[in-house]
Structure 1
Amino acid sequence: MYLGVDIGTSGVKAVLVSETGAVVATAARELALSHPAPLWSEQDPDAWVDAAIGAVDVLAQHHPREVTQVRGIGLSGQMHGATLLGADGRPLRPAILWNDGRSHAECIELERRCPSLHAIAGNLAMPGFTAPKLLWVARHEPHIFERVAKVLLPKAYVRYRLTGEMAEDMSDAAGTLWLDVGRRSWSAELLKATGLDLHHMPRLVEGSNASAMLASEFAQRWGMAKDVVVAGGAGDNAASAIGLGAIAPGDAFLSLGTSGVVFRVTDRFAPAPASAVHAFCHALPGLWHQMGVMLSAAASLAWLAGVMETPTAALLAPLGERVEGPSPVKFLPYLDGERTPHNDAAASGAFVGLRAATGRSQIVQAVLEGVAFAARDNLAALSAAGGAIAELDLVGGGSRSPLWAQICADVLGIAVHRVEEGEVGAALGAARLGRLAATGDDPAQVCTRPRRLASFVPRASAVSAYDEAYRRWRELYPALKESL
């Protein structure tokens, strides 16, 4: 048995996976977000730990025999979160998350300090990344900055609490702007630009290699053996790729989670910062990936459900499984700013085209289409950076909706496939990395593709209408930028 734990933004998921690769059981715990000021997004690091322990507790309670057989554990997690630890190993402040936009000025300063940033890190300086957050802390909370002994990412903090070891995998480390992504090593030059050095960083390990052993107190708590291996793991999207079997150059998928991602595997470091495409290490040695990232995908629909005080399923039900054409309402899904292609943390969401006759279903449809249009922006950026993408597997919470899948196919103009276990992809990928670390198995034999549940192909009757709707939608951001 193998255990995968995914430290998400809205919750923690744990999944038990058998020797045959089947998902035996899952458990989840919710997490709360804090927004103490405009553009700020924070979480209590200890809440991740409590949620992770609680999720595994549930598995141990309901599946004790299977849990005792666990040989390897993998961790995946939300990327970029700045978890600042003092000399005693305790957090100095709440973690500053991936969707926090406060450090725009510090991004400009970082690029000024380090002209070689793009070449080394392979990415633009964006407020979501970790390094600008540390410049912000140094400027606005110097009493905190001077006490920082280590900077960990979310899953690395959970690993530290479960094992006593501070380590980070290459895929997550690539999202800090401190990694020499091509060489897969910390960059002293980039660290110096933020007033840090190598001593502030955890040691690096490949995602499929062992990083530590589970601490005896947790092995006893869950009835596991004393030699359970904890893998390096992966950032959430790289872990999802492992869960999808996306381990060959050209493999690609679309994630509709809290954030949204178009992801493509590459066999080399292939940066394209001019179009705000991310270039990161993959979770397996010798592989990298490109990503286009939108900051509010399924989160946009969840926001609308909250505003309308209506469950998401009830919002979607009146629309059925397909619509005949675009909504007359347009939605910009920039509730937390946007990365690809705009790199604008201050971008705002907007509805355009509302009239007295506008109904709820047209607004709901506009949100689904707005996210799909943003995904098309991402697809175009990746295509320009490395060639066309012919089809995409679909994962994340948004993958549950056949309606959304069909809208994505019609908007993107390519086939989209819903896959088995698409909602636990990151946790499944983490479990697979746990297996690789424990057994040394061949990744090609472990990281197999899931069964496709349904395929959605572009409908000729809808594609041309969505092409025109996308053209008009793209005019909104530049038109509204100065007024929002």
Structure 2
Amino acid sequence: MAGLRGRWRPGWPSQPRLRCGAPGRRHLSGLRQRSGSAGRAPRRHRTCGPDVGPPSRGRRLLPRPAPRYERGAGLRRCRLRRSRRARRRGHHHDIRGDGRGLAWRRAGASPCEWRLDRRRCARGRCLSTPRPRRPRQRAVTLDVLVGVDVGTTRIKALAVGLDGRVLGEADAVTPWRHDGPCADVDPRVLADTAIDVAVRTLDDPRVPSNASVRGIGVTGIAEAGALLDDTGAPCAPMLAWYDPRGLAEPIRARVEAREFWRCCGVRLNSKPSLAKVLYLYDTVPDARSRASLHLGVADWVVHALGGEAVAERSLLSRSGLYDVLGDEPWALASDLVGDLVAPRIIWAGEPAGVVGPDAPERLRGATLTVAGLDHEAASMAMGAMRLGVLTDSIGTAEALLRLIPPVDRDTMETLVERDVGVGWGIVPGFLCLVGGLLTGLSLERMSALLGLTDRAQRRAVSEQALEIDRSTVPFRIAEVSHEGLTLSGVTEGVSPAIAWRAAVDDLVAMSTDLIDFIEAHVGRRSESMLTGGWMNDPTVAAAKRAQIGAYETSDIREAAALGAAFFGGIAAGVLERPGPADRPRWRT
């Protein structure tokens, strides 16, 4: 065939290239002269790539079929790219110049990458030494902490930066099933609701798109808890802490009330978890035979997120299943209901595992912890969980908190007799006294009785009450209980302002008696921190100022959830745990 130059070899395309040119013309490998371009500088011919055939001279007559891009044909494609010069240089398997060569071809790269390689080869970048790579930059993320507060009426959650700045918040109604004074919930539903609220905090527009959750802390109510079987599944409903169905009689039949106080640090009634478990054993089929573990509300939510089954001390201290000063499960409780205490007992802020693969993806991998009792977590967030500081939180219930060193059992018995709970606090090695009053609930009942359902109307009446002289008014609150109020001195001349002034003064006097009793046994307070929604009422604020004197206030919203987030940071190792005389410190 005239004009055919070069021989066809095995491995080259089945159709040879035909080129025209003078038979005796000298062959210049890699160079060709374009027709009609006499006098121009010779143009370098491409020496590798899928369109290059055997070295020859002249112009191509017949087109060569394009290579087929199929997976697993890497060796054949490399042969199509070879040239004599490339074989002599020894880099015909390294067309990209990055050292990966044939192994990269066999990995099945896309046609777009092959075309890019051909362009690089045409530009003379087919080098035998690897091309230096640009170091891969790691995506910058913003560390975020999530705090969850499982409360009596609502479940709240906050997404917080390491500097303490609130970035996102969400809440939901606590899904109790109410039947008169009784209330219970499926533990799975409660955990799912709490997890959903935690995830929705990250949907807040203030949370940046590069946020990464480092730690999650969960705080909540005490006494209520989940009964679990050997597989970790709930085997009975969860009773609310105020549910009156708990059975105290089987406990009283085995031990005197004072002995219960000395060991468990709480009053013997229907509230402790032990009494609620006894009721569930009597009413839920197979509950006694299946139950193997009891977890508090916050402990259960952490476990549902994939964390370990742990028992946090401040919550466990109010269960009746635990000898507080002995720091071990109470033997009599084990005889009555079995050994239901988790094998690992922790302080608030200790790591309790990480969020597991079954949890929402945005929370996975975050360090988990239990942040203890909600009142104490809120006090920590406000900087009041310190030795000598009285925390007075007036919400639906009024909670009086004092952090103290350990005491003996006689002192514990004396305090519990006055309904002051004694248990381990959220500061390791220190006890926390919790005195509870129905101040907020009683004020809500009085507002409803006087028809003050509107907040603005109630504030107007409260401002009028400040101008009233109470000494000549016979109206007063004689008794307060969970069932209602007992009133006396109701006459024709009792106006809403007079009734409100009398109610506030009488309820504050009840808390004054309890504060004096606590200070008589553990020492006088050095500072006072007052918080809660009822502190916005003018009459309540004036009565508390006359009662306590100078005090600090906190405008932190959702303080318990914020405290839980702080403990999440402690568990994740990004925040430091404060001492018994220190305030919490966020990163600056």
Q: Check whether TM > 0.5.
A: yes
For 1:241, the equivalent position in structure 2 comes to 379
- C-alpha distance in structure 2 between counterparts of 1:124 and 1:445, whole Å: 30
Does 1 or 2 have the higher relative contact order (CA < 8 Å, sep 6+)? 1
1:415 aligns with 2:550: yes
Unaligned runs of at least 5 residues, structure 1 = 338-347, 451-484
- C-alpha distance in structure 2 between counterparts of 1:306 and 1:201, whole Å: 43
- Per the normalisation by structure 1, the TM-score is 0.79
SS in 2 for 1:215: coil
Higher fraction of helix: 1
For 2:424, the equivalent position in structure 1 comes to 281
Contact 1:246–1:265 (8 Å) recurs in 2: no
Q: Which has the larger radius of gyration?
A: 2
How far does residue 43 in structure 1 lie from its aligned partner after superposition?
Answer: 3.8
Unaligned runs of at least 5 residues, structure 2 = 1-143
Once structures 1 and 2 are overlaid, which stretch shifts more, 140-149 or 435-444? 140-149
Q: How many residue pairs align between the two structures? A: 431
1:18 aligns with 2:161: yes
For 2:266, the equivalent position in structure 1 comes to 123
Q: 1:352 aligns with which of 469, 473, 488?
A: 488
1:65 aligns with 2:199: no
* Structure 1 residues 91-130: Cα deviation after superposition (integer angstroms, max 9, x where no partner): 4443222222344643761662787433332333232221
List structure 1 runs of 4+ shifted beyond 6 angstroms.
none
SS in 2 for 1:381: helix
- C-alpha distance in structure 2 between counterparts of 1:151 and 1:8, whole Å: 19
Distance 1:90 1:363, change over 3 A: farther
Question: Partner amino acid for 1:212?
Answer: G
- C-alpha distance in structure 2 between counterparts of 1:51 and 1:205, whole Å: 25
For 2:15, the equivalent position in structure 1 comes to none
Contact 2:386–2:583 (8 Å) recurs in 1: no
Contact 1:174–1:281 (8 Å) recurs in 2: yes
For 2:43, the equivalent position in structure 1 comes to none
- Per the normalisation by structure 2, the TM-score is 0.66
1:433 aligns with 2:567: yes
Q: 2:511 aligns with which of 365, 375, 386?
A: 375
SS in 2 for 1:213: coil
1:395 aligns with 2:536: no
Distance 1:376 1:35, change over 3 A: farther
Contact 1:322–1:406 (8 Å) recurs in 2: no
RMSD between superposed Cα atoms in Å: 3.1
How far does residue 408 in structure 1 lie from its aligned partner after superposition?
Answer: 2.1
Once structures 1 and 2 are overlaid, which stretch shifts more, 247-256 or 49-58? 49-58
For 2:288, the equivalent position in structure 1 comes to 145
For 1:448, the equivalent position in structure 2 comes to 583
Residues 155-234 of structure 1 correspond to what in structure 2 (within 5 A)?
155-187=298-330, 189-198=331-340, 201=342, 203-220=344-361, 223-224=362-363, 226-234=364-372
* Structure 1 residues 211-268: Cα deviation after superposition (integer angstroms, max 9, x where no partner): 1211234351xx35x4311113111122122212234322220111222211000122
* Structure 1 residues 398-445: Cα deviation after superposition (integer angstroms, max 9, x where no partner): 2343432222232x3433432130x42211111111111111643238
1:49 aligns with 2:184: no
How far does residue 390 in structure 1 lie from its aligned partner after superposition?
Answer: 4.9
Question: Partner amino acid for 1:231?
Answer: T
How far does residue 13 in structure 1 lie from its aligned partner after superposition?
Answer: 1.1
SS in 1 for 2:560: helix
Q: 1:329 aligns with which of 461, 475, 484?
A: 475
* Structure 1 residues 277-305: Cα deviation after superposition (integer angstroms, max 9, x where no partner): 211111121121112112x3323334455
How far does residue 149 in structure 1 lie from its aligned partner after superposition?
Answer: 2.9
1:268 aligns with 2:406: yes
Distance 1:138 1:49, change over 3 A: closer
* Structure 1 residues 27-61: Cα deviation after superposition (integer angstroms, max 9, x where no partner): 221225444355x3434434432432332233221
How far does residue 197 in structure 1 lie from its aligned partner after superposition?
Answer: 1.1
- C-alpha distance in structure 1 between counterparts of 2:193 and 2:506, whole Å: 32
How far does residue 167 in structure 1 lie from its aligned partner after superposition?
Answer: 1.7
Residues 357-368 of structure 1 correspond to what in structure 2 (within 5 A)?
357-368=493-504
Contact 2:442–2:485 (8 Å) recurs in 1: no
Distance 1:48 1:195, change over 3 A: closer
How far does residue 143 in structure 1 lie from its aligned partner after superposition?
Answer: 4.6
Distance 1:84 1:445, change over 3 A: closer
SS in 2 for 1:230: strand
Q: 2:540 aligns with which of 390, 404, 419?
A: 404
